[in-house]
Structure 1
Amino acid sequence: MNNFRCAIASGMLLCALAFVPASAQMRPDPNQPDMVVSAAQRQAVIDAMIKEMHRSYVFPEQAKKVEAVIRQHQKKGDYDSITSAEKLSTTLTEHVFAQTRDKHLRLFYSAQPIPEEPKDKKPSVEEHEQQLAGMRSQNFGVERVERLPFNIGYLDLRAFAPAKDAADTLAAAMTLLAHTDALIIDLRKNGGGDPATVTLLASYLLDERTHMTDIYFREGERTEQMWSSDVVPGTRFGQKKDVYVLTSKYTFSAAEDFSYALKGLKRITLVGETTGGGAHPGDVMRLNQNFAMFVPNGRSLGPVTKANWEGVGVAPDVSVTAEDAFKTAQIAILNKLAANEKSPGKVERIKTRIAKVNSENTAGTMAR
């Protein structure tokens, strides 16, 4: 889950689409030029990183431990030979992760200067339009909507774009799927996004306002409750029909929030692989003109479990490879339809469809 600002210039891919998740896009452009860093510059980056962690990281005690680890590496001279900006960012990220096991906590190098902006600065009209154009080019994360044989709905969602921007597109998709008899939501390539969109999509699958999750923020020690909505644009799918959610090890952040919350509510059946394990929302913080850091400033908590999926992921109900998840979900739905069907002729047609799905090459489903 991310609530980060588009804070880094064009050298960082995350600025092209503000909603694109940390796991998928918060990486430097692989084609950007590297930069030589001096000992003084290296020291400045390390000091700024540690200062920012003490100021913002959701676990203050871990920030202290990270500083101790990093200072120990410095004393041993482990950074002395690093003159590459790229190498410095990856090495520091590895050392921080070794202590925290936090998959959102990352350091980044940008060849393009990172502008110094107030934390609460809103994008200009031009910047907002650029972000919207980028989101529109990816259809606000909605990759594919389909009605499969025997009235099975299928939604391939690649990102949870900001709710205010994605609402109409999600409403159109869910309205098209509202009258299907069962639904498959494919999150195998979804790396996260806006927690508000998690509750928006969940609202189509629930009949009444439901407490989904809590997000604790270090600043102000406040907790924000996330609830599904009583009213949705378009047509609600409802709570009585089966929903299968497909996951992979790449399913991350807000996509995990959706999976974790609805699994806890026993509203969905998860099929696929254990997810990536990132449960800490945060922000991109500028360290200097060429380095920035994504710092988690909050953590997600299940309203009942008071826990989350950080570092462990969300385990599926039906464990299969990501490539087989689409096939497995379809067959489960079809078998249930056949068991409840009274017409012998239709039962035979369903069985024929099951055989066809079983024989299909599943490798292509992840490549779509």
Structure 2
Amino acid sequence: MKKTTIINIFKITKLLFIFFTLMSVSVQANQKSLTSEQIKSLMEQTLSVMQEHYIQPDIVPELVELFTSRLILGQYSHLDSIDEFADVVGRDLRAVTQDKHLSLFTVKPDEDITHILPHQNGKLTYNFAFEEVKYLHGKIGYLKFNKFHPDPRARDTVDAAFGFLKQSDGIIIDLRDTIGGSPWLAQYILSYFLEKDTPLWHVLDVDGEIIDAITVTDEVRHRAFLNEFPVWILTSRNSASATELFTGVMQANAKAVVVGDVTSGAGFYVGVRPITDELIFRISLSKPVITANQQNWEKTGITPNLQVPSLDALAYAHELSLKIN
């Protein structure tokens, strides 16, 4: 009898567990589920924000037509949550425009909104993304960093690295894994290599008007890398955004030989604009143009002076460096 009672209690407990689990799943599904009207409204709001703020507003009418057709065909009817909408539609906008900066993301109430992408601890965070500084054979300096870190304290790391390399006969700067980042750190590093007040780049708004002009700063610690001091920059298809800005300015001013693959082709300034209280657009708002050659690199990338597989770029650059002595 006792054994039967225990079995029955076990069965009842199991049934209650299944019941409450199903109830929980049902409630969560109802909370997250988007109706077709909600999906349509989010899409309209997204494209409206793009029309108002995107650096290339002339392409938005075609996007409206394309994404309206996709809605009608039910290609987004499977989206169950606003997070899924952000992920799928953001990916599709990025693919169609080939603008690698475009994305959608969601925020919680009272969360700070920023265009700066968060990263897990690792090569993009430790030591402000500076990975390695050393001397190679031939008294050639080697510097590798993986992001133009937006933290102002990154300047101290730049100063330390370039202080260490001050006695070198040339520097190889490895940007093959450098994803981009702050144009202001790019300006600071450029100021080690170019004369004071040299025009670096200017920024155009959606109407093609100049809204900012960036020049070399005089805040760097030493001027040992000016004039004929040789520099080689290593690139890959992953080298993007602020990395391309830095590389393009150095190349256009005949201050560096670029070695490796054509870069990513992410050539706009990016910011954020709200679509709803929860849905945010990371969107390209303006266009930097390299002053020395009047070029922007969106979709084209920066073409190296010596185009070789990125895996072999260091070997090629080091070989070139040994010929200067």
Q: Tell me the TM-score normalised to structure 2 length.
A: 0.80
Q: Deviations over 1:23-82 (max 9, x none)?
A: xxxxxxxxxxxx543324322321221121122111221223322222222233322233
Post-superposition Cα deviations, 1:212-242, rounded to whole Å, max 9, x if no partner, equal 1111133995421111123412454223111
2:234 aligned partner:
246
Out of 57, 60, 68, the residue aligned to residue 60 of structure 1 is: 57
Q: Verify the 8 A CA contact 2:199 2:213 in the aligned structure 1.
A: yes
TM-superposed deviation, 1:85: 4.8
Q: Is 1:175 aligned to residue 172 of structure 2?
A: no
Counterpart for residue 200 of structure 2: 212
CA distance in 2, matches of 1:92, 1:118: 19
Find the counterpart in structure 1 of residue 108 from structure 2. 113
Q: Which amino acid aligns with 2:302?
A: V
Q: Is the 8 A contact 1:114 1:288 kept in 2?
A: no
Q: Percent identity?
A: 26
- Decide whether the 8 Å contact of 1:174 with 1:235 is kept in 2: no
How far apart are 1:245 and its partner, in Å?
0.3
Written as runs of structure 1 = structure 2, the 5 A alignment for 1:32-43 is 36-43=33-40
Give the CA deviation at 1:253: 0.2
Aligned to 1:126: none
Residue of 311, 314, 323 corresponding to 1:323: 311
SS at match of 1:193: coil
Matched, 1:280 2:268: yes
C-alpha contact (below 8 Å) 1:273/1:322 kept by paired residues: yes
Return the alpha-carbon distance in structure 1 between the equivalents of residues 174 and 109 of structure 2. Answer: 35
d(CA) in 2 for partners of 1:273, 1:310: 16
User: Which residue of structure 1 lines up, in the alignment, with residue 136 of structure 2?
Assistant: 148
Distance 1:139 1:42, change over 3 A: same
Task: State whether residues 212 and 261 of structure 1, in contact with CA within 8 Å, keep that contact through their aligned partners in structure 2.
Answer: yes
Gap runs ≥5 in structure 2:
1-31
| TM-score when normalising by structure 1 | 0.71
Asked whether the equivalents of residues 177 and 237 of structure 1 are also in contact (C-alpha less than 8 Å), the reply is no
Map of 1:65-144 to 2, 5 A cutoff? Answer: 65-83=62-80, 85=82, 87-108=84-105, 110=106, 113=108, 115=110, 138-144=126-132
Partners of 1:136 and 1:61 in 2: CA distance: 35
Shift of the 117–40 alpha-carbon distance from structure 1 to 2, 3 Å rule, reads: farther
What number of residue pairs does the alignment pair up?
291
- What secondary structure sits across from 1:147 in the alignment? strand
- How far the C-alpha of 1:285 sits from its partner, in A, is 2.8
Q: Name the CA distance, whole Å, in 2 between partners of 1:56 and 1:323.
A: 39
* Preserved contact between residue 267 and residue 298 of structure 2 (Cα < 8 Å): yes
User: Residues 249 and 292 of structure 2 are in contact (CA less than 8 Å); yes or no, is this contact kept in structure 1?
Assistant: no
Residue 264 of structure 2 contacts residue 299 of structure 2 at CA under 8 Å; is this kept in 1? yes
Structure 1 residues not aligned, in runs of 5+: 1-34, 120-129, 338-368
Of structures 1 and 2, the one scoring higher in RCO (CA 8 A, sep 6+) is: 1
What is the distance in 2 between the residues matched to 1:136 and 1:168? 16
Deviation at residue 280 of structure 1 after TM alignment? 0.6
Native 8 Å contact 2:103 2:282 kept in 1: yes
* Match in the other structure for 2:16: none
* Aligned residue identity for 2:79: I
Residues 116/55 of structure 1: CA separation in 2 closer, same or farther (3 Å cut)? farther
The answer to whether the 8 A contact 1:247-1:322 is kept is yes
User: Aligned partner of 1:58: which letter?
Assistant: I
Q: Is the 8 A contact 1:116 1:286 kept in 2?
A: no
Give the match for residue 220 of structure 2.
232
> In the alignment, what sits opposite 2:322?
334
| Cα distance in 1 for residues equivalent to 2:305 and 2:157 | 29
Cα shift readout 1:164-209 (whole Å, capped 9, x = no counterpart): 3322111111111111001000111111111111111011112332
Judge conservation of contact 1:163–1:196 (CA < 8 Å) in 2: no
User: Which residue is 1:17 aligned to?
Assistant: none
For the residues of structure 2 that align with 1:177 and 1:304, how far apart are their CA atoms?
A: 27
Equivalent position SS for 1:336? coil
Q: Which residue of 2 aligns with 1:158?
A: 146
For the 8 Å contact 2:124–2:146, the answer to whether it is kept is no
Cα distance in 1 between the residues matched to 2:185 and 2:231: 18
Q: Cα gap change, 1:147/1:118 in structure 2, threshold over 3 Å: closer, same or farther?
A: closer
The CA distance in 2 between the partners of 1:40 and 1:141, in whole Å, is 44
